Amino acid sequence: MQRWLMKTEPGTFSIDDLRTRKTEPWDGVRNYQARNFIRAMRRGDAVLIYHSACPAPGVAGIAKVASAPKPDPTQFDPKNHHYDSTSKREDPRWTLVDVQFVRKLKRVVPLDEIKALTGLGDFALTRRGNRLSVLPVTDKQWNAILALE
């Protein structure tokens, strides 16, 4: 089983929204590196849900991958904000997985506390200037973050 972190803006879609929805197609990812991580996902992989672009950025909950990777339908919808007119149905460019709520953390583990952790190796979340919205997490990183909740 692999581990991942996926960002969301809580003003748009929060961990509480995921709890209500139970399972949500994680659409709208339009970055090739993030897409390639999504394509590497398998059903049952573990996911940290991260709140970004908000007053208290940090890890808010746990989810799991609930489907195989599949084409993101919003790329073909001209009315959708994430519409991609250059993506072809016979060769879809953008991919999503369904994400299923598991639980909220006891508190949102703040980004600055995660940044203060040491000895966790390379971590895309805390790399300077990082903007990746989907990124891999090692067992050690996962456990260190959950130890802070």
User: Is residue 80 involved in binding DNA (CB under 7 A)?
Assistant: no
Considering only the stretches 41-49, 65-73, 124-132, 138-146, report the one whose residues sit in contact with DNA under the rule CB under 7 A: 124-132
Q: How far is the CB of 110 from DNA (least distance, A)?
A: 8
The residue behind tokens 């979340």 is 125
User: Is residue 32 involved in binding DNA (CB under 7 A)?
Assistant: yes
Query: In whole angstroms, how far apart are CA 107 and each of 13, 23, 59, 97, 149?
Result: 17, 21, 9, 26, 6
For DNA, which is the closer residue by CB, 22 or 107? 107
User: Is residue 130 involved in binding DNA (CB under 7 A)?
Assistant: yes
Instruction: Name beta bridge partners: 6.
Output: 49, 134
DSSP line for 29-57:
---HHHHHHHHT--TT-EEEEEE-SSSS-
Q: How far is the CB of 90 from DNA (least distance, A)?
A: 20
Q: In the structure encoding, which two tokens stand for residue 131, read together?
A: 């903007």
List interacting residues with DNA (CB under 7 A): 7, 9, 30-33, 52-54, 57, 111-112, 127-133
